[in-house]
Amino acid sequence: MQNPATMRLRRLTLQWGSAWAMSALALLPAVAQTKQPRAVSLEEAIRLALDHQPQLVIAKSQLTASRARLTESNASYYPQLSPNIEYRSSRSSYHIGGQTVTQTDDRSEASIALRQLIFDTGKRELSVQAARNNLRAAELSFQNTRQTVILNVTVAYYDVVRRRELLRVQEATVERAKTTLEATKAFAEEGTVRRIDILQAEADYGNARVQLGIARNDLRLAEIALRNAIGLETTDDVTASADAPSEPPEAHDKRSAQDYAADALKNRPDLLRDLAYLEADRASERIARIVAGPQVQADFTAGYRIDPDRGDNQLLLATLTYPLFDGGTTKARVRAASESVKQTQQQIELSRRDIHLAVEQAYLTREEARERVAAARSAAEAARANYEAASEGYKEGVGTVVDVITARTQLVTAETNMVQTLYDYLVADARLQRAVGVNDAPWVGGKKQ
């Protein structure tokens, strides 16, 4: 007979095993249904961003509002036609000689009136000019927002691919560390290594796994940043497709930073936008000066009464006004408009300097990264050969585990530098294209190509 304690232990084991199996089966559908991120190319990511990014929705709304304001200003060139229908009913009562007399009056009128502004000392023309320049500024602001969105998506996309490559480096590192640990344990069984060697190999393997976890989290964070740059909902997960990035050309760019800066001053939509704002501010300043002086206005009005008695009337009215005293209001408006012009002029100068700075920084960063790419590739090849030699020496008993760990650390550093350098170049090139104002192919220099 079996021991009762043994039988109870066996029953508990079977119960726990059944419960664990049922739990595992219950989790299988959930794991199978885990939604995988949608892989998109860089072109697809940019296209999605141009359709979904809220910044562009706001910029497009501002553009629509500017078009409406221009239409409103242009309306002053056209006559205003206003039909009018009026119905009036009145009732009154009063007492005369002890009697109450009530009177009622019901009447209706129908007429139509036309008014045309003929002249207003140039204010109408200047208002239209200001609205037209504000519309141009809104168009350029929309293009500037497009370029900013494209840059943000490009940088976020490259960061996802960068983090994926770094994750692969860490995965390979864990496998190498695991191989070293297994070899060290085998040597320990043979009595050819010390216990401290096993501890060093275990610590190295543990550290590699920690770095692997960090790399996985960095990739997930980069994918979230890409989703946000595109402007998708939080439930729409995306990732970069596995497209291999192009290698940078080894030859230096024949164009200088000054050449790129000269192109930027012609192409940057934000600078062209500020120039359009300057023209709008100048028109507003001229309107303020007109209002502060003598004003002549001429209007033509014509009306036709349909009911109750048909008839028509016409009126040509010319007026001359001058704000003799208004508490300084008109002069204050002139000063404010003049200062607004000066502020915009200084903003343009600041924009020019910022453009020069952005172009030079992106250019120098790109060229420096270009030089590092070849050096990083050579360093990675040398580190890989060094690691292989250290591993073979350790297997043959002529090296130590410290030699292998040191060589692998150098290899990880070299492979990481190679990945970082390549994507530093790609990001710097994207920033240079944005700084010059040519990263949005359909729109360059504020014009559709």
CATH code, domain carrying 336: 1.20.1600.10
Tokens of 135: 């519309």
Is residue 68 situated within a structural domain? Answer: yes
Sequence-separated (6 or more) residues with CB below 8 Å from residue 385: none
Amino acid at 438: V
DSSP class per residue in 308-320: SS-EEEEEEEEEE
Task: Compute CA distances 405 → 204, 394, 411, whole Å.
Answer: 7, 11, 10
Write the burial class of residue 404 (CB in 10 Å: 0-12 exposed, 13-18 middle, 19+ buried).
buried
End-to-end CA distance of the chain, in Å?
A: 93
Is residue 366 situated within a structural domain? Answer: yes
Rounded distance, CA 436 to CA 441, Å? 12
Residue 74 three-state SS: helix
pLDDT at 247: 78
pLDDT at 441: 76
Angle at 343 between CA 339 and CA 348, to 5 degrees: 150
Is residue 104 situated within a structural domain? Answer: no
Q: pLDDT truncated to tens, each residue of the chain (449 aa)?
A: 444 444 443 443 434 344 434 444 344 444 334 568 889 999 999 999 999 999 999 999 999 999 999 999 999 999 999 999 988 888 888 777 778 878 888 888 899 999 999 999 999 999 999 999 999 999 999 999 999 999 999 999 999 999 999 999 999 999 999 999 998 998 888 877 788 988 999 999 999 999 999 999 999 999 999 999 999 988 888 999 976 677 788 788 899 999 999 999 999 999 999 999 999 999 999 999 999 999 999 999 999 988 777 888 999 999 999 999 999 999 999 999 999 999 999 999 999 999 999 999 999 999 999 999 989 999 999 999 999 999 999 888 888 899 999 999 999 999 999 999 999 999 999 999 999 999 987 766 666 65
DSSP class per residue in 386-422: HHHHHHHHHHTTSS-HHHHHHHHHHHHHHHHHHHHHH
Is residue 400 situated within a structural domain? Answer: yes
Is residue 306 situated within a structural domain? Answer: no
pTM of the model: 0.84
Residue 309 three-state SS: coil
Count CB-CB contacts under 10 A for residue 333. 18
pLDDT at 244: 65
Rounded distance, CA 228 to CA 222, Å? 10
Please answer whether residues 138 and 62 qualify as being in contact, where contact means their C-beta atoms are separated by less than 8 angstroms: yes
Domain that residue 203 falls in: 38-86+118-295+324-448
Long-range contacts of 325-330 (CB under 8 A, 24+ apart): 330/288, 330/291, 330/292
Number of domains in the chain: 1
b (16+ CB within 10 A) / e for 237-261: bbbbeeeeeeebeeeeeeeebeebb
pLDDT at 29: 44
Is residue 265 situated within a structural domain? Answer: yes
Rounded distance, CA 298 to CA 118, Å? 5
CA neighbours within 13 Å on the CB side: how many for 175? 6
Query: Beta partners for 113?
Result: 82, 303
Tokens of 129: 């000019």
Is residue 79 situated within a structural domain? Answer: yes
Is residue 226 situated within a structural domain? Answer: yes
Query: Beta partners for 99?
Result: 96
